[in-house]
A = this chain, B = another copy of it.
Amino acid sequence: MPRLDFWYEFASTYSYLAAMRIEPMAKAAGVELAWRPFLLGPIFKAQGMETSPFNLYPLKGKYMWRDMERWCELLKLPKFTPPKSFPAHALLASRVALALDDAARPDFTRAVYRAEFAEGKDIADPATMHEILKKLGRDPAATMAKSGEPPVKDKLRANTDEAAKRGIFGAPNFVAADGELFWGNDRLEQALAWAAKH
């Protein structure tokens, strides 16, 4: 089965859109997904950006917030709710995502994005993580503890390093088995077609 790596960042608005629609689309295309959270912070820094381009370029930011409202309507997602502080601190959610087994990651990821962009919750707050894990039937205390241990921390660092090596400069991204890189929620269709064909 052809594989596509789904590279996402928990603070990224367009990663949210991709996360909410990728699974049925991948199934229909006969493509297996790997859900790979990474951190944009070091990637932006390496490009000389101290924060999100949506903050550095306010016109672009203003457009993005409106674009997200439209996309959420189109995708029949809950009314889009910008987080109080953008970009959110994604470190904790990313580590918890990697503390879970691969099969649990998609549901967890969607729950985090919903909390962040539909429910106005702070994903950097351990209480938010606790609540999500509990709802998903996971052991919050054990998972949170595991998320702070070296193997998980190393895994997130390795993901972020690999993202940089693959030429990733934003999020979300879709990377086919042959290394072909597609950036942005609006390239998901092309990425799946590529993965299925190559």
Known contacts A63-B181, A63-B183; A169/B57 CB under 8 A: yes
Assess whether A60 is in contact with B170, with CB atoms less than 8 Å apart. Answer: yes
Copies in the complex: 2
Expressed in whole angstroms, the minimum distance between the Cβ of A171 and any Cβ of chain B is 13
Known contacts A47-B59, A63-B183, A181-B63; A74/B167 CB under 8 A: no
Q: How far is the CA of A40 from the CA of B181 in the complex (A)?
A: 27
Q: What class of interface size applies to chain A in its complex with B?
A: 20 to 34
Known contacts A62-B167, A63-B181, A181-B63; A190/B74 CB under 8 A: yes
Q: How far is the CA of A50 from the CA of B39 in the complex (A)?
A: 28
Q: Is the interface of A mostly helix, strand, loop or mixed?
A: helix
Chain B residue with minimal CB distance to A43? B59
The verdict on A186 contacting chain B, using a C-beta distance below 8 Å, is yes
Chain B residue with minimal CB distance to A183? B63
Residues of B with C-beta under 8 A to A47: 57, 59-60
The verdict on A79 contacting chain B, using a C-beta distance below 8 Å, is no
The verdict on A70 contacting chain B, using a C-beta distance below 8 Å, is yes
A97-114: CB near B (< 8 Å → 1, else 0) gives 000000000000000000
Given contacts A62-B167, A67-B187, 18 further A-B contacts (CB under 8 A): A47-B57, A47-B59, A47-B60, A57-B169, A59-B167, A59-B168, A60-B169, A63-B167, A63-B169, A63-B181, A63-B183, A66-B181, A67-B183, A70-B190, A74-B190, A184-B186, A186-B186, A186-B187
22 contacts between A and B (CB under 8 A): A47-B57, A47-B59, A47-B60, A57-B169, A59-B167, A59-B168, A59-B169, A60-B169, A60-B170, A62-B167, A63-B167, A63-B169, A63-B181, A63-B183, A66-B181, A67-B183, A67-B187, A70-B190, A74-B190, A184-B186, A186-B186, A186-B187
